[in-house]
């Protein structure tokens, strides 16, 4: 009964990464994909739209809207920066909802995916714990709810190994009974790049797709399945050992003069010439038979996860409820 | 938005207590209620059957089967005793399932009610964490499941204040989708008696009724609602301050010579004469306006809850899966 | 080897309670004890000075200074109130240090007494976790420490049952080596009154005395033993079942017309006439042989302890470091 | 005040690794270093003696005794294997104590180094939590201690960043006051090799040396400093990103035909030819300026740490107390 039920995806879930890979080093524009970048104060916001099938095919991402916050400084645990990221996240999330047509009165079900016993996988449940929940008041005393709040409920459905039930089944059961207008699903992702771990947050309106990222969400949480829109918030918290190796070989190439430079070739042999995909395949070919393509996370993961969960939960509370603003948002999280 | 949504019941959930109250000090037999008591090695097992409406009305409990384990020694944290209680619980639980017609192949959904952030209310979620879950194997690789296991899934639905959704709604959503043959719901109870806290376990086939015990399970988990049988496992973990006072006044009466003795009357005045119900009402009348009828739990609750959760989870694992026995049951709990 | 090493004291540690008991209902002034009371916005501050041996004997407390914050509203979990209590605590603690001659440059060792595995006993360790620690900078890069900070270290020495070592021995070993100018010891106390649990904070300059309060601090943390002043911060988090009963009988007396009223006597018999001490002895006589004089704590203890630990740690951080003020204090606690 | 006080060593703490590096691929014997290897049932035990200065210099390890358990299968979380490893560890630890002259009656202080808030660094504190502590009985009721037990105390001194006090100062203070005969210090290590993480346990009688492994134990815990022998138990729980890259490049070399093979050279260029040390330096040169030489740990670290802490604590309990044996050892750990 010792079955490995986990299927890991090696794809990245970050649309900005997928776009960069598709563009190549020349950074050519991609038809059907539009992009808006804004950077200030150490926070880079990229708003990406995949407008049609051509764009979708080009970058291998579903048609939809993607917003990414990249904040390398988050790794240093600066509390002031965390507060600013939370504010930017709240503002972007509000804009995002408006853009995709989610009104101020829409009721929301927050879904915290992942396993609360596995620190790098506990982001979703932690956000749920720190979200401001109001649905009970709308159900029980609807006429006493103060203005400025929205109907919000939340669930951390657990993972298949803990419950024996797919997350998506739990969520569908709840959606059938409670009829929210929109789902917001929070999930920890696997990154294609060491430097994105715990420094990047992605918002997307395409839901959670089977087999994307790491883990067991095979049936997915999408509008097709659930009948309501599903906004996914993802943060990379782990990567594969092979990813690290591949990243470093890429950095080496740059370090030694770039691809094709004589010096690079001398030092790195064919490792310089082959494509990133081929090189990754090579690294995996070496590591996997030994069982060494471990999924790893930074040593400081406990603190990182707590920090990011706080950013996301505070940001959601401010974005979802007009009555919550940066001055009082701390009162709702732990 | 500071509403008190919690409605606490002052009734006891333990059928043995209800029966004792109905019998009075003379311990008269009650028509429609049959009882079997077995005691050995510090563990008292009472099997109570409420056979008909007369019995039900007499003790104020639904028609059904009730098994109670009373183990005063559990308060001392003896590891050997815990193991024996777990074995007895497993044996009684198996008998109970057989008696009410649950077959070896019935699939089970374990529901851990309560709030994992409130130690005395975290029994249900802790049992879920330590249960041996197998449904995923039956779903994904049904032909590879070893004999001796049963299809078991589990969920801790949280509480209304954390999720905005009634536990019963979450459970019904899951039952609709996963179609288990039987529900086993674990819950922490409020006790009518200080001495029962953390020393008593009740098994009953009547489900969880709205408003019974402590907390927010207003819609209940019953066969009528869920469409499948629901076995409830309850352990008292808290009591009211008023309960303690009332208990002590009762003990005082005995201490001074019993009800009606001149000495008792002299010392306790009318407190001796009035009925237990009246006295409790009196104590509540004094405490409530001051906001002092606190719900309390023993100082050592962290350790008690862990011990009892282990007993129940180990017992369930052994009772539900033939392949699990006392020799290997430890391997499945933390 | 199943020895009970715990010796519980039934005395109260709160000087305000001791004074009230000594004063009796007439509230007579006590020679050698002076008192200043200030109340605003739901926070009552009592500054008590025990000036001489007469005062000390009268109330059974050591000569010294005692400040008590009483905030019944803390039981309702109001975040705004918590912030205000933290501010008042910081202000009172600063005044207290000035009054007893602790200068701005004195180095401090914070000692978090108690058992982190027992929720109601975990206050001290939680405060240590949330204190702003700086001694390492003074040791390693003394010339780089910004102005506005003080040299602060902290330790949670554990309890005898976990370490095999008296807390006081651990602390003395550290004091011998690190030579702090003053000790601040935080401890959870047993209360004589149900209503004080989690709503009262006491500051005193008399250290921790052997056998006072609950638990195993037999050798004590006092200036005589440690060679440096020891300020004790105590919060009642538990009480005895007998305390609750006694409290309620007292409330009953008031409820029925007060002591000696004919009505009271009729209802409560001798329970009305005997002194509080006698009545408590009576209750204990009834409960103890049954092993039922449990130490209990409110059901919501997890949340209470977190709230109070936050108040004390934020308050200490602001009081000890000039650079920390109400606006930024949150950045230092979790 | 945002100083980085952490100094990380890139050396390995495992003597078997140091020896392998010194031996080179030809596995030449090293004068002054003797070795005994035993392997059975998936558990490889290596007993290494560094007998003299020549041996010490050759492998860069202090003169002393080193026992290493290597158990690759631990990564799979097999409970039966964990039990066997615990038994082997207990047996080896007992032999080790006898060999270095620690008698049955020697009193022991267990020191759990590391930070309980950082999962991969929490091994030491977790072992302390699960150790059977008896010193309090020897102090308070020496004539009532059953035979078969030894005087054991334990402390988790925290880390400099949490307490402001070096671990070694805390320990020395306690040693001065409690006079144990021997110290057993448990610590999490950084590994030179991905595959050793959470699968290797080292016992050594050389104490903890300043700057060895990861972290802040600069003053060390050695016989010279403490005046009593110090046995160190270490488990690698993290490694550097650069270590992973270097490991993989090594595996690649083997994969492509070994060092110097034409094929290897073609593919890997100079990366094939340079020494392991040079290659590691190269990788660090690439990673460090980018701040990307992260210390990482496997995603499943929570479960691994719990498993290893249980193995070490159970093993220590059985090795230190004759009255504890494999049949009852479970009763003492959580």
Report pLDDT for C85: 97
Please name the residue of chain A whose CA is at the shortest distance from the CA of residue D79.
A2
| A145 DSSP assignment | P
Determine the distance in angstroms separating the CA of B151 from the nearest CA of chain A, rounded to an integer: 9
The span from the CA of A57 to the CA of A33, in Å, is 10
Which among C76, C238, C265 has the least Cβ separation from residue B269?
C265
Give the gap in angstroms from C-alpha D19 to the nearest C-alpha of chain B.
37
Complex-level ipTM? 0.88
pLDDT in tens, C218-268: 578 999 889 999 999 999 999 888 888 888 888 877 777 776 677 777 777
- Of C43 and D14, the one with more pLDDT: C43
| Residue A65, phi then psi, degrees to nearest 5 | -110, 140
- Kindly list the partner chains of chain B, i.e. chains with 3 or more CB atom pairs below 8 Å: A, C, D
Hey, what CATH topology would domain A5-243+294-332 get? Rossmann fold (3.40.50)
Q: Which chain A residue has the Cα nearest residue C78?
A: A331
CA distance C109 to chain D (A): 9
Between CA D169 and CA D157 the distance in angstroms is 9
Instruction: Find out whether C197 and C298 touch, Cβ atoms under 8 Å.
Output: yes
Mutant choice from C76, C79, C129 vs A, greatest count of A C-beta within 10 A: C79
d(CA D187, nearest CA chain C) in Å: 18
Question: Is pLDDT at A178 greater than 60 in this prediction?
Answer: yes
| Residues on chain A touching D297 (C-beta within 8 angstroms) | 296-299, 301
> Which tokens sit at B333?
């709990």
Q: Residue A211: what pLDDT?
A: 52
Give per-residue pLDDT as tens, D95-127: 999 999 999 999 999 999 999 999 999 999 999
| Cβ contact, residue pair C1, D169, below 8 Å | no
Is it the case that residue C288 has pLDDT exceeding 80? no
Cα separations in angstroms, A226 against A131, B306, C163: 22, 38, 54
Q: What is the pLDDT of residues C267-287, one digit of tens each?
A: 777 777 777 777 777 788 777
Nearest CA in chain A to D252: A286
**Distance from A119 to chain B by nearest Cα, in Å?**
16
The C-alpha of B313 sits at a distance from chain A's nearest C-alpha, in angstroms, of 14
Contacts of B165 in chain A (CB under 8 A): 135-136, 153, 155, 174, 178
Q: Is the pLDDT of residue B7 over 50?
A: no
Question: Is A80 touching C (CB cutoff 8 A)?
Answer: yes
Chain B positions touching C3 (Cβ under 8 A) are: none
Among the partner residues A79, A306, A334, nearest to C331 by beta-carbon distance: A79
Ranked by mean pLDDT, the top range of A244-248, B317-321, D142-146 is B317-321
Minimum-distance CB partner of C165 among D144, D155, D161: D155
Residue in B closest to A334 by C-alpha: B117
Which one of A19-23, C98-102, C245-249 scores highest in mean pLDDT? C98-102
Q: Chain B partners of D80 at a C-beta cutoff of 8 Å?
A: 331
Interface of A with B in 271-300 (CB under 8 A): none
Give the mean model confidence (pLDDT) for residues B22-38.
88
Looking at residue B208, its pLDDT comes to 87
If you measure CA to CA, which chain A residue comes closest to D116?
A302
Is A177 or C6 the better-scoring residue by pLDDT?
A177
Q: For B114-170, how does the pLDDT look when each residue is reduced to its tens digit (9 = 90+)?
A: 999 999 999 999 999 999 999 999 998 988 888 999 999 999 999 998 999 999 999
- For chain A, list the contacting chains (3+ Cβ pairs, <8 Å): B, C, D
HEC string of chain C equals CCCCCCCCCCCCCCHHHHHHHHHCCCCCCCCCEEEEEEEECCEEEEEEEECCHHHHHHHCCCCEEEEEEECHHHHHCCHHHHHHHHHHHHHHHHHHHHHCCCCCCCCEEEEECCCCCCHHHCHHHHHHHCCCCCHHHHHHCHHHCCCCCCCEEEECCCCHHHHCCCHHHHHHHHHHHHCCCEEEEEEEEEECCHHHCCCEEEEECCCECCCCCCCCCCCCECHHHHCCCEEEEEEEEEEEHHHHHHHHHHHHHHHCCCCCCHHHHHHHCHHHHCCHHHHHHHHHHHHHHHCCCCEEEECCHHHHHHHHHHHHHHHHHHHHCCCCCCCCHHHHCC
Residues of C in Cβ contact (< 8 Å) with D153: 163-165
**Portion 225-254 of C in contact with B at CB < 8 A:** 238, 241-242, 244-245, 247-249, 251-252
Q: Give D-chain residues touching B80 at CB under 8 angstroms.
A: 331
pLDDT (0 to 100) of residue C215: 43
Return the domain boundaries, chain B: 5-243+294-332
Residues of D in contact with C177 (CB under 8 A): 169, 172-173
What pLDDT, on a 0 to 100 scale, did the predictor assign at position B12?
Answer: 55
pLDDT of the residue at A8: 33
Model pLDDT, residue A7: 31
B295/C299 touch (CB, cutoff 8 Å), yes or no: yes
Band (C39; pLDDT cuts 50, 70, 90): very high
How much of chain B, in percent, has pLDDT values that exceed 90? 56
Q: How far is CA B275 from CA B253, B279, B280, C150, C266, in A?
A: 12, 6, 9, 63, 16
Residue A2 pLDDT exceeds 50: no
CB contact under 8 A, B252 and C290: no
Instruction: Look at D174 and C177 and tell me if their CB atoms are within 8 Å.
Output: no
pLDDT in tens, B202-258: 999 999 876 544 444 457 899 988 999 999 999 999 988 888 888 888 887 777 777
- Is pLDDT of C332 > 70? no
Instruction: Nearest chain D residue to B306 by CA: give it.
Output: D334
Collect all residues of chain C within an 8 Å Cβ-Cβ radius of residue D160. Answer: 136
In the predicted model, is pLDDT for residue B97 greater than 90? yes
Q: Is the pLDDT of residue A308 over 60?
A: yes
Cβ separation D158–C160 shorter than 8 A: no
Are B133 and A161 an interchain contact pair (Cβ–Cβ within 8 Å)?
yes
CB-nearest to B154 from A133, A156, A163 is A163
The pLDDT of residue D290 is 67
Q: Which of A198-202, C318-322, D253-257 has the lowest average pLDDT?
A: D253-257
Are B296 and C298 in contact (CB < 8 Å)?
Answer: yes
């Amino acid at each position: 009964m010792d079955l490995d039920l986990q299927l890991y995806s090696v794809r990245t879930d970050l649309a900005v990464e997928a776009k960069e890979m598709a563009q190549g080093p020349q950074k050519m524009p991609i038809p059907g994909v539009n992009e808006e970048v804004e950077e200030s104060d150490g926070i880079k916001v990229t708003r990406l739209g995949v407008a049609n099938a051509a764009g979708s095919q080009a970058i291998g991402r579903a048609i939809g809207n993607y917003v990414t916050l990249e904040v390398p400084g988050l790794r240093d645990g600066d509390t002031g920066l965390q507060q600013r990221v939370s504010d930017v996240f709240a503002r972007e999330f509000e804009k995002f909802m408006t853009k995709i047509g989610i009104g101020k009165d829409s009721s929301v079900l927050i879904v915290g995916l992942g396993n609360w016993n596995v620190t790098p996988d506990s982001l979703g449940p932690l956000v749920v714990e720190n979200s401001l929940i109001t649905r009970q008041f709308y159900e029980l005393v609807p006429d006493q709810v103060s203005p400025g709040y929205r109907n919000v409920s939340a669930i951390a459905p657990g993972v298949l190994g803990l419950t024996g039930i797919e997350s998506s089944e739990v969520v569908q059961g709840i959606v059938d009974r409670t009829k929210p207008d929109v789902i917001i699903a929070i999930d920890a992702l696997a990154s294609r790049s060491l430097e994105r771990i715990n420094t990047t947050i992605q918002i997307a309106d395409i839901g959670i797709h089977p087999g994307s990222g790491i883990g067991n969400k095979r049936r997915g949480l999408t509008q097709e399945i659930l009948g309501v829109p599903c906004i996914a918030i993802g943060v990379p918290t782990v990567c594969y050992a092979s990813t690290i190796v591949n990243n470093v070989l890429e950095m080496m190439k740059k370090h030694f003069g770039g691809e094709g430079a004589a010096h690079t070739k001398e030092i790195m042999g064919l490792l310089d010439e082959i494509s990133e995909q081929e090189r990754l395949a090579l690294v995996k070919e070496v590591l996997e038979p030994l069982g060494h393509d471990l999924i790893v996370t930074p040593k400081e993961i406990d603190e990182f996860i707590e920090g990011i969960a706080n950013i996301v939960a505070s940001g959601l509370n401010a974005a979802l409820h007009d009555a919550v603003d940066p001055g009082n948002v701390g009162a709702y999280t732990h």
